[in-house]
Structure 1
């Protein structure tokens, strides 16, 4: 780690431990809140998927009919029509087929423009995703510390990947019979869920260095060193599981993605999805508990430490105020003593201890007026203060003023 990285890490550590770790505690609290929120969403999705029926396309007619495509099925594990626009939550397992195969009576429907094809491998499917990922490198040159600071602040905002997706309407069918009379149309509108695609092409192409690349390297900036090309498809005949809201649309069964669920199309079966979500739920639950406990401990420690510091500050302030008042009294006493020393004092009125100042303080409880105010205060501060005349223990002294 360079000296600049160590300095940046030290500054971040000081910021995190500000106010005895209060800032760090709030950060951990936010992580715990996010974990608990994700746990609640994942647990809800797990309950819905566990209660949803797993069917084949041919079984949909026994579950959905023309009369209840917009009705609510909450009692059977479905979702209400008010929140999902009608239909029922189901899990359909089937094979991928192009939709036009149901509209034509021969195998030529699967050829030509009805599919999307990979340019590199030539394989065909119903979904084609092309991804270009630019790989960057960084050499810390003369001005390399600027790149370190930029990476710490805005490194997560960089976009190195571009992706494009093409697809054709497709359906899920059961078995290998053709033509298919029982099928469900997959509606991909509004779905941002991950897709179970298969990689058919992957190539890493190095990028030749240019004078601009050399200048970027000298200045400590990132420069491209390679481009990764990938092509993924969803091929025909692949068995996948669709988890979504199924309803009747123009006499055909159609399934859409649900925003409340973390997946729509998956290569896993229902049992595998339940196991996977159960594991994620446990991880999120324990993460929320652990981070929540740590956050409570850190914030509690910070509150106790700051309260202790406040009490110490308040005590020091009181002591300082008392000292200031004592200093003020001493200064006024010194002024008075100077005035007394400037005038002539008869012998019978001199302090019996210092023999320099006038007798001004009477001791309590004996009442003897034999000391000046300064000497009386010094006697009071002794471990066992006693009157210098009668040797009786005294409690305090009283300033006597002439009329």
Structure 2
């Protein structure tokens, strides 16, 4: 690991541990809240999928949708075979010549990482800025299609799929073309290699299709439109067109909801512990600060009383040994003890001057001074 990567990790660790772990606790709490949101969404989707009945295509028109008015819809799961409607068209991608209804062409530029001649590398930073480096170009084409019953495959009992290409869920596409095209290197690539930056090495060209004749499941809102049965996307569900059956969807969503639940519990427990520790340390710091302030007030009051009174020859250097003189002025008796180190080496006036420094340190052990105590002879 390079020095720059180590410095980045150390900086992130310092930020995470700031305020006695409060920053890390707040970050963990934010992740717990996000995980809780995902758990609630997965639980709601699981409930909707479980409530959606699995209806055979011939039963949709005459039983499931019977009695519904125009514009009304019901959630259902329908499994059928992809077919073009009567008089419809189909697509033929150049990569496979197979008839299909949806094609998706994707080109991804792949980058390589190289430690340059100066030992520089950006692997760690690429972890955070990977999305900025990747260059993906996607183009899609589709035609109208529907689903027919797998048993009869009669086109008169077809469910028309309302597909506009703006589906955010993954589609049950089949890869028919996959090719890795090397990128021709140039002088700029040589410069990127020398300094250790990412440089393009290849172009991944892929073609995926939804072929005619593939059996899939559509789960969404079913309605009657122009004497035809139509199914459209339900925004609350993570599925629309899928290879999975309704039972497999429920199992997958149940597993996902269970995972998010335990992740939420774990992150919530860690965040509560970190925030509790930070609050406890803050309370201890406030209590110590209050005690130090009260001790300082008592110290100054006692010193002011000594200044107002007459100590006589108690502070005369001639009547004291060297072990009793202040180590700073060498004129007065040692009266101020520093806390927490406990050294009794200064008089009250010199202790006040030490206290006013930017970094109050004990003159003997150089330890931080929290407050001072006035020491009296018996």
TM range (shorter): 0.7 to 0.9
1:244 CA drift (Å): 0.2
Q: 1:319 to 1:62 in 2, by over 3 A?
A: same
Q: 2: CA distance between counterparts of 1:35 and 1:150?
A: 25
- How does the TM-score come out when normalised to structure 1? 0.73
Q: Deviations over 1:45-78 (max 9, x none)?
A: 11111111101211101334464145xxxxxxxx
Stretches of structure 1 that go unaligned for 5 or more consecutive residues are 71-84, 104-108, 342-377, 383-403
Bigger drift between 13-22 and 307-316 goes to: 307-316
Asked if the contact 1:54–1:92 (Cα under 8 Å) also holds between the matched residues in 2, the reply is yes
Deviation (angstroms), 1:153: 5.4
Tell me the residue number matched to 1:38.
38
Matches within 5 A, 1:102-251: 102-103=86-87, 114-141=89-116, 147=122, 150-151=125-126, 154-175=129-150, 177=152, 180-189=155-164, 190-251=166-227
**Residues 152-180 of structure 1: CA deviation (Å, up to 9, x unaligned):** 65344444222111111000011375651
- Paired residue for 2:270, among 281, 287, 294? 294
Equivalent of 2:84 in 86, 98, 102: 98
8 Å contact 1:69–1:247 — kept in the other structure? no
**2:343 corresponds to which residue?**
none
**Structure 2 match to 1:325:** 301
Name the TM-score, length of structure 2 as normaliser: 0.78
CA displacement at 1:121 relative to structure 2: 2.3
Question: Alpha-carbon deviations, 1:103-155, whole Å to 9, x = none?
Answer: 4xxxxx6xxxx222222222221000111111101223267758468536534
After TM superposition, the structure 1 stretch with the greater mean CA deviation from structure 2, 221-230 or 317-326, is 317-326
Displacement, 1:251? Answer: 0.8
CA change 1:171–1:148 in 2 (3 A) is closer
Contact 2:114–2:121, Cα closer than 8 Å, also in 1: no
Distance apart, 1:379 and its partner CA: 12
User: Would you say the 8 A contact 2:116–2:193 is kept in 1?
Assistant: yes
Question: Which of the numbers 88, 93, 107 marks the counterpart of 2:74?
Answer: 88
Counterparts of 1:327 and 1:156, CA distance in 2: 66
- For 1:152 and 1:91, how far apart are their aligned partners in 2? 40
Q: 1:306 to 1:145 in 2, by over 3 A?
A: farther
**For residues 309 and 120 of structure 2, what CA distance do their matches in structure 1 show?**
64
Q: What is the 5 A alignment of 1:233-382? A: 233-333=209-309, 337=312, 381-382=377-378
CA contact (8 A) 2:115 2:121 kept: no
User: Number of residues paired by the alignment?
Assistant: 318
SS at match of 1:8: helix
Match of 1:2 in 2: 2
Aligned pair in 2 of structure 1 residues 314, 156: CA closer, same or farther (>3 Å)? farther
Contact 1:144 1:221 in 2 (8 A): no
Gaps of 5+ in 2: 317-373
Once residues 158 and 174 of structure 2 are traced to their aligned partners in structure 1, the CA distance between those partners, rounded to angstroms, is: 23
Distance in 1, matches of 2:26 and 2:16, equals: 10
How much is the aligned-residue C-alpha RMSD, in angstroms?
Answer: 2.5
Would you say the 8 A contact 1:55–1:91 is kept in 2?
yes
Q: Find the aligned partners of 2:278 and 2:58 in 1 and give their Cα distance.
A: 62
Range moving further from structure 2, 204-213 or 144-153: 144-153
Q: Distance in 1 between matches of 2:195 and 2:98?
A: 44
Task: Give the deviation of 1:296 after TM superposition.
Answer: 0.8
- Distance verdict in 2 for CA 1:303–1:183, change over 3 Å: same
Q: Check the 8 A contact 2:148/2:154 in 1, yes or no.
A: no
Separation in structure 2 between the aligned mates of residue 263 and residue 178 of structure 1, nearest angstrom? 24
